[in-house]
Structure 1
Amino acid sequence: MSYTNVEVAQVVAISQNHAIGKNNELPWHISADLKHFKQLTDGGIVIMGRKTFESMGSKPLPNRTNFVITTNFDYQADFDNVIIFHNLDDALTQASSLAHGKALDTIWIIGGEKVFEQAMLFTDRLEITHVDTVIDGADAFYPAIPNDFVKTNASEKMRDEKSDLAFEFVTYQKRTTN
């Protein structure tokens, strides 16, 4: 566990070309992926960038403590379960302290592109939904999965009935070096 004995995990759905967003929205709607996301993060601490927060209608995810990172020092969100930070280090420090207090094992990084990139150094686990499509015109992308992450689990390939998109849930764990 890499951040004061609390696991840092990223949860994201990505296309074949690593797209995660288009026009500040998810490029697909896959019901099973949204349920998977909720199951993983429910009751926990989620860290996201301002654009990700705004893409959710500037409303916090219910039953989670929402940490929002922005460089705008005047940015405010009027919700009890939303805490604003101005850099990832401060958010991770506070999240790990809160996680210890709540006996949580994991802090969830939920996007967007810049936050995923910055958090990779501290990340222990990736929970990636690989969506079998290419998104043309995407404007937010997930970084390349670093070589020190190894696939440890994968679901069977599934197909979303509404969108007809094929997808699978894959877990990658960072190799520990001794």
Structure 2
Amino acid sequence: MSYANTEVAQIAAISSNRCIGKDNELPWHISADLQHFKSMTTKPNDGAIQGIVIMGRKTFESMGSKPLPKRVSFIISTQLDYAEQKGLVGKDNAYVVHNLDDALTQAASLAHGAHIDTIWVIGGERVFSDALMYTDRIELTHVDTEITDGEAFYPELPSEFEITEGSEQMHDDKSELDFRFVTYKNKVAE
């Protein structure tokens, strides 16, 4: 699988009914999950770039329309003037592209130059779904709750993805939610 010899991985936190978003935000706040996300998508290396992420426009906006620290963001938007709207023209840590193929091509090229092994797809619903055909690994945080009024959902995993690792069930005192980290690998890609 992979894309231009670079691993493509997805990372998301999902409810028991696969919800990933409500009101263009995460439906919960779990500190350990945010730390997990940061540690997975950021890998210290010699260069200034410590990670590469691909996301849709709404996901970017849900993060305050700011690129993630120490990572290069590829934002997919069909709006031709989106980079101008968000003040991203000339930035070296955020690029607006107009489709997933362009995002993957540019991200893989950057990854090779920066000696980064993994490109992270971080949302939202459509980007996750479209990227599944290129995905080698998926890191899901399974949050033990059901979100009945959610607006964005993680796709059903194709049968070629199987669980290779899973953490113990953990509990977040602030949100009162239980969760666990699970790694899925694409057995066809190996």
- Same fold by TM-score, threshold 0.5 exceeded? yes
Conserved? CA contact 2:7–2:135, under 8 Å:
yes
In the alignment, which residue of structure 2 is the partner of 1:84? 96
Deviation, 1:136, is 1.4
How many residues are paired up?
Answer: 178
The verdict on how the C-alpha distance between 1:66 and 1:177 changes in structure 2, with shifts beyond 3 A counting, is closer
Structure 1 segments, 4+ long, off by >6 Å, are none
TM-score (norm 1): 0.97
Whole-Å separation in 2 of the counterparts to 1:97 and 1:7: 12
Q: Deviations over 1:66-107 (max 9, x none)?
A: 110001111113242110000000000000000000011100
The 5 Å alignment of 1:27-106 reads: 27-42=27-42, 43-76=50-83, 77-79=86-88, 80=91, 81-106=93-118
User: 5 Å matches for 1:4-15?
Assistant: 4-15=4-15
Aligned residue number for residue 161 of structure 1:
173
| Alignment-mate amino acid for residue 74 of structure 1 | D
Structure 1, unpaired ranges of 5+: none
TM-superposed CA distance for 1:177, in Å, is 6.2
Q: Distance in 1 between matches of 2:11 and 2:135?
A: 11
TM-score (norm 2): 0.91
- Please give the alpha-carbon distance, in whole angstroms, between the structure 2 residues aligned to 1:170 and 1:24: 24
Identity score, percent:
62
Matched, 1:173 2:182: no
